[in-house]
Structure formats: C-alpha cells, structure tokens
DNA sequence: CAACGTCAAGAGCGGTGCTCTCGTTTTTGT
DNA sequence: ACAAAAACGAGAGCACCGCTCTTGACGTTG
C-alpha cells in the first residue's frame, strides 16, 4: 500500500508534497509555540479542516514521530558535514571539536526539535523502530573519530588511569564498539561514551536554560568542556601540535 | 494575605492540608500517567469539582511550580543525606560517589518528577524565582565536597592539563565558586562543573531511555562514570586508598 | 464509462484549562 | 453578639483539543 502511494502517479506526488508541507508547518508551530503541538492549529494554518490531516498522519503521535525522525536526520547530517569539513583527517582533535560544536549549534538553532529528540520523552509516546536508524547517525560520527584515533595510536593509555570495567560491563561496551567504532578497545570506547554523555549534558543544560543566570560565555564554556573531554579520550592532532582550528 | 491564610485558624489548617493533598494526588497522577497533568482529573480524584482547585492553585502552571519546588527540595534532601551519611568526612571520593548515586537513585525512583526539573522545560512555562533556592541545594552539596578537597590539597594539579580558561570565562567560573564552593580555584570549579554536567547527562540518558537497547549494567556503568569524573576532579580518600565503600 | 480509491469537509464525542456566578460557611471587626 | 467581609464548593459555560464517522465530490483505473 505504501508502494502504491509512493508510485509515480500524480496523486502520489501531490500527497507527498502535502505531507511535507504539513511537517513544515508543524515545525514552524513547534519553533513558535514550543511543544504541545496542536494538530488543529496546523490544519488551520494550511486552510484545511483538522480531520483532513488524518489522511496524512494517523495521529498526532505519528506526526510527532515523523518530526522526530527528520530531526535525527538533520542532526546526523549536521555532524557528518562538520566532520567531513575538516580537511586534515589526522587532526582528530579538530574533528572532535567540529562535531561537538555542530551538535551544540544545531540544538541551539532548533531548541524544540532538540527537546523532541533529547529531552524528556512525551508521556505515552514510545519511540517506534523507525527512529533507531537516524538516531544512530551522530554517534557513528563519533565512532569513526574514535576508530581513527585508535588506528593512530592516540587514546591510549587512559590519562586518568580509570579503574577497569567490571566484567559484564566490559562485554557491553565492547559490543557497542563493534557496532559504532570497530577495532576500538573498551577503555577508549568507555571514555568516548563518557565524553559523549558530557557533551549532550552540556548542550541540554544550555538549551534547557540551566545556565541562565550562571554562565554567559556559553560558547567558550562549551568549547572548554569539549576540549577537556577530548583530553580524556586522548585526542590530539597527529603531530601533537594541539589544533585550535575549530570554527566558531 | 498569605499571612492571614497561614494563621492558626481552623480554616487555614484545613486549607494547608487540602493544598498538600492536591499536590500528593497530582504527584500520583504524574507518576502514573506521565506528564500532561490534568487538573480536572486531580479534582475528580479528590471528589472536588475542577473549579474548586483554583481556590488553591491559580493555574495548572502554579500547581506544576509547586511540584517542581517540592521535587527540587526532595532531591536536595536526598543528596544532603547521602553526603552526611559518609562518616569519614575525609573520604571525598566516597562522598562524591554517594552524592552521585543519590542523584541517580532519586531520579530513577521518580522519573517524571526528575523530568519535571531536569527535562525539557514545559512550553510556556518560565521558572519563577521561588525555584532558584531549592534548585541550588544539590549543587551546594557538590560545592562543599569540592571545597573540602581543595582544603586537603587534592584536586590540584589538573590531571588532564586542560588549557586555561579564557579571561571572561575565568571570572564567571570564579563567581560560581564564590557562591557554591568558597575558596576553590577556577580550575577545580571548572572540573567540578564538568563532572556535574556529565553526571546529569548520564542520569538523563538513563531516565529518558537512551540506554535502552545498549547498556543493561546501568548501575555499574554509572558508577564507572562517577569514578572517572572523580578522577577528573582529583578526588580520593585522604589517605589515598581509593575508597570502594560506595553503597550499591 | 463505470467502479473504485482518495480526498476535504462537517458534525459530533469526550476531554482539557479556565472564568464567572451563586449560595453557603467561616472568619473578622466593631 | 452581630453584621460585614472573606473564603469556599458547586455548577454552568467558553474555547480549545485529539479523534471518529459520515457525506459528497473528485481523480484514477479497469
């Protein structure tokens, strides 16, 4: 049935365009009024009656899911482009900083879409399987940086001499490494995950207003955090010059 | 007028009781149905009509704010108790781990209240001034640990040799230290804030389901993260034995 | 050309936050 | 002690919400 709809018929084309327009209007509403997206308001904005929207999305949650998938893809693309834009592929610190700043910039540019995918999950909503693919894209970018760092012999040994992981945990971390950063030891993978967690904690703090009367120099503060996390992983330029060619 | 209401009259007493009961019922609804707290449903549960609730809370947002303040206070008390329960006050690693695990435990026990205070802020809601006091309690606990660590000469030098903070940022970080961790250098304060950010990032990841098909050994993983962050700060027992007396 | 599938529209259901009015009860000031 | 004032619960009502169902018009396809 989906095949029929995506066929080349005129009707299918119009349908795809309207579907896309609904999402665009919904995104506008999201950016304006915050969450609590109203399907009726979206329909009104399009000159439609609310029930007509249900021809395109079975429910409000379905529309939300579509927006979530788009948001994941947009952030994934932002991080991938940021990584690809670093010409010196051996400047792993530069790549890490570029990706981290790309995450932050994307989140600040569309805070409500960021909240949709990294904030508190909406009450009854359970992420369907369609979201797992796009949601993995940013972490795959980090995985590639980690793998390249390991290939170049950076990232070892652990600069903080952290205690070894418990047995069961080692297996799980290794499994993650096999998925997103092939050939990376569990020590590096664990530090990468910690750095990843800190980056998203920092972005969430800033986007959700927890820095409000506390830190004004937000970009500098985020840059510092990203650099400390890079040091935790052991990232540096190949020649150890300590890159400062981050775009900001 | 608030003075009148909190006077010893019978009416004031019953008013306080009903106010507290409304909050309790609302908390139950929050735990059951997740967010999207319905004032009408709460009123129904209490055998009241919805308009009667407005005698006690001017709006749904006001009720939310009361719940938020209570949640901040509850988490603050949990962290304070966890810190106080460590008898060896020089076991700074143990105190840090106790506080970190207390944050996580509290968040997992009441995930929707955690989402209320550390998740994406609700759309039109702006945190009133009443929330800043209670919201500072947990970070004050960390501040005391940081200050004690500095007094004992731990926490310096920076084990990762992070680059120095930019001028403007140094002033802001120092200002934070003056508020929550008197006598702490900006290097230590910065590392403390980074550790704090990572801890809350980790808790948010777990509470919001981002570890779902990834990591099952959650307590062990969190403990590892907390220990790595402790190492970043430079925390250890006074005698450098590296405490492993965390409660778990 | 006729049958089918798709579409927008409208009415309607039960739910929501919130306001207003109306008696009743309790507190307060004299 | 008694009247004025304040607080209270109940109910009706407004505008909005997500969602369902039906109806009539339209394009597509056999």
DSSP assignment string, A68-105: HHHHHHHHHHHHHHHHHT-S-TTBHHHHHHHHHHHHHH
Give the pLDDT score at A126: 63
Residue A237, beta-bridge partner list: A91
Distance from residue B10 (CA) to nucleotide D1 (C1'), in Å? 21
Residue A123 to residue B34, Cβ atoms within 8 A: yes
Nearest-CA neighbor of B154 among B89, B234, B208?
B234
Of the candidates B34, B123, B198, the beta carbon closest to that of A198 is on: B198
Three-state DSSP state, B241 = coil
Distance CA B199, CA B193 (A): 10
Judging contacts by C-beta atoms under 8 Å, the chain B residues touching residue A221 are 169, 172
Write out which nucleotides of chain C lie closer than 7 A to a protein Cβ: 6-12, 15-21, 26-28
| Contacts for A17 with CB less than 8 Å, ≥ 6 apart | none
pLDDT, tens digit only, all 248 positions of chain A = 333 444 457 777 888 899 999 999 999 999 988 878 999 999 999 999 999 999 999 999 999 999 999 999 999 999 999 999 999 999 999 999 999 999 999 999 999 999 999 998 865 566 667 888 889 999 999 999 999 999 988 877 889 998 999 999 999 999 999 999 998 999 999 999 999 999 999 999 999 999 998 999 999 999 999 999 999 999 976 554 443 444 43
Amino acid A245: pLDDT: 41
Please count the other Cβ atoms lying within 10 Å of the Cβ belonging to residue B211: 19
Task: Give the gap in angstroms from C-alpha B159 to the nearest C-alpha of chain A.
Answer: 7
Minimal C-alpha gap between B115 and chain A (Å): 6
**Interface contact flag, B127 A214, Cβ < 8 Å:** no
**Below-50 pLDDT ranges, chain B:** 1-6, 240-248
Cα separation, A20 vs A24, in Å, equals 6
H-assigned helices in chain B: 2-5, 10-33, 39-45, 50-53, 60-84, 92-109, 111-118, 132-151, 167-180, 186-207, 218-233
Q: Cα separation of B228 and B230, whole Å?
A: 5
Full-model pTM = 0.92
Q: What is the per-residue burial (b if ≥16 Cβ within 10 Å, else e) of A69-100?
A: bbbbebbbebbbebbeebeeebbbbbbbbbbb
Q: Biggest alpha carbon distance in chain B?
A: 63
Given this model, what pLDDT does residue A6 score? Answer: 43
pLDDT attached to residue A103: 98
Q: Which secondary structure element, helix H or strand E, spans residue A30, and what is its range?
A: helix A10-33
B55 touches strand C (CB under 7 A): no
* A125 min Cα distance to partner chain B (Å): 10
């Amino acid at each position: 049935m989906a095949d029929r709809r995506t066929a080349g018929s005129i009707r299918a084309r119009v349908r795809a365009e309207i579907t896309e327009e609904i999402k665009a209007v919904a995104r506008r509403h999201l950016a304006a009024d915050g969450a609590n997206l109203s399907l009726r308001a979206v329909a009104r904005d399009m000159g439609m009656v609310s029930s007509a929207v249900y021809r395109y999305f079975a429910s409000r949650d379905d529309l939300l899911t579509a927006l979530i998938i788009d948001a994941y893809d947009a952030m994934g693309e932002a991080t991938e482009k940021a990584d690809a834009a670093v010409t010196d592929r051996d400047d792993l610190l530069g790549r890490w900083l570029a990706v981290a700043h790309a995450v932050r910039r994307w989140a600040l540019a569309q805070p409500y879409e960021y909240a949709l995918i990294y904030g508190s999950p909406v009450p009854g909503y359970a992420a369907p399987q369609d979201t797992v693919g796009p949601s993995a894209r940013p972490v795959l970018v980090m995985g590639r940086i980690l793998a390249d760092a390991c290939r170049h012999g950076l990232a070892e040994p652990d600069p903080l001499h952290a205690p070894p992981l418990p047995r069961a945990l080692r297996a799980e971390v290794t499994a993650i490494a096999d998925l997103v950063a092939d050939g990376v030891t569990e020590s590096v993978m664990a530090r990468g995950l910690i750095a990843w967690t800190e980056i998203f904690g920092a972005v969430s703090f800033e986007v959700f207003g927890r820095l409000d009367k506390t830190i004004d120099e937000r970009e500098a503060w985020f840059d510092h955090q990203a650099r400390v996390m890079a040091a935790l992983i052991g990232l540096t330029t190949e020649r150890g010059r300590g890159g400062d060619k981050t775009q900001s």
